[in-house]
Structure 1
Amino acid sequence: MAADLRFKPYPACDGALAYIESAIDLRRRFQLTADNVQKVIVCVDGAAAELCQPYDAGNEVPSPERTRFSMKYAIALALSEGNVRLSHFAQDWASTHSRVCALAQRIHLETSARDNNGVRASGQLNIHTRDGHEHASNPDIARGTETPEAEAQPLIRKFFDCTASLPAAAQTAIIEHALQLETASDLHEVVPILMGAQS
């Protein structure tokens, strides 16, 4: 059971995570901008097709919670902002939401009948740019074969994003101790920091 556990690096529906990673990877590798994206074809399979229903941006502005379960919105946010953070779903999100919705309307889902039996979704994206290029994702590259230290970076960024109300010194101290938990002899130094962060 423990071997199947994994951290959730983005505040979105689990079925969208692989697609978020692919979108961020393609944006970085090909220096894509939201304005240069003509359309995105998303190959959705398995549970992702059920969990992440399309969100068609219209006159109605949905709640931030609703958009977290939208495959289109998650991919558009990743391509537009270069990441998906909790702060993107804050109550004062109007300007971000407007940019993302414009791109979400150019994202199209192709649902596969293939059942992935609970295996992680493919994360397959095909991005067509206005200058005539097409970029297909390679989920293996997006997931990477990085060192444990490098793999921890998205989680550290998420921690800082989720705890933005804490003093920077408290955030840094908590992360430093968290990264050393496996070799720590006891938690006497950690508990006071956590208690201080709550006050």
Structure 2
Amino acid sequence: MTHDTPAVEVRRSRRRKRTVSAYRDGDRTIVAIPARFSRAQEREWVQRMLDRLAAKEQRRRPSDDELLERARRLSERYLDGRAQPSSVRWSDRQGKRWGSCTLIDGSIRISTRVQGMPGWVLDYVVLHELAHLLHANHGPTFWNLLSTYPRLERARGFLDGVSFERGTGDHGDPGDDEQDEDLLDELSPRSGAVSDGAA
């Protein structure tokens, strides 16, 4: 397998006895190996770890067809198959949104910013948009649909954290603009109550 990796940095460690690890750091790939490895072992393990990283990244960046299949499985599992999108595709035109859908034709778009995030976060974003195919707003019925997803709050928190770090002002709800934030706080399962906005 070939890789278009700009730079690979091999770090040898005397404390590392048998394990090898690899991770991306910006445009570099860091591969940590035991100091005792020969140059041949180093080449073998660097290639092996690059292959593993590439495979892992590919799983986190499914194709549009794979996104559609994923959405269909999620609909079956969590929405009793009631939400049937016509298409699900990556989009780099989502602005501050994690995803969006068009009710008229049943199409869903997922922000390319979600690529590389854990699969359970991607699943939440897709499920959020699938639920919008059934309920356009964020009322109690909408959140009840999503309540069966076991990582709902964790995924929303993850997206909140990413938004905070990037300073984008996004929040943990895929297709919502900033102006909807107060309404979301009122209706989300986190608050447990509906507010009329009066203080």
TM-score interval w.r.t. the shorter chain? under 0.3
Structure number with higher relative contact order (C-alpha < 8 Å, ≥ 6 residues apart): 1
Larger Rg: 2
Q: TM-score, normalised by structure 2?
A: 0.24
Greater helix percent: which structure? 1
Q: TM-score, normalised by structure 1?
A: 0.24
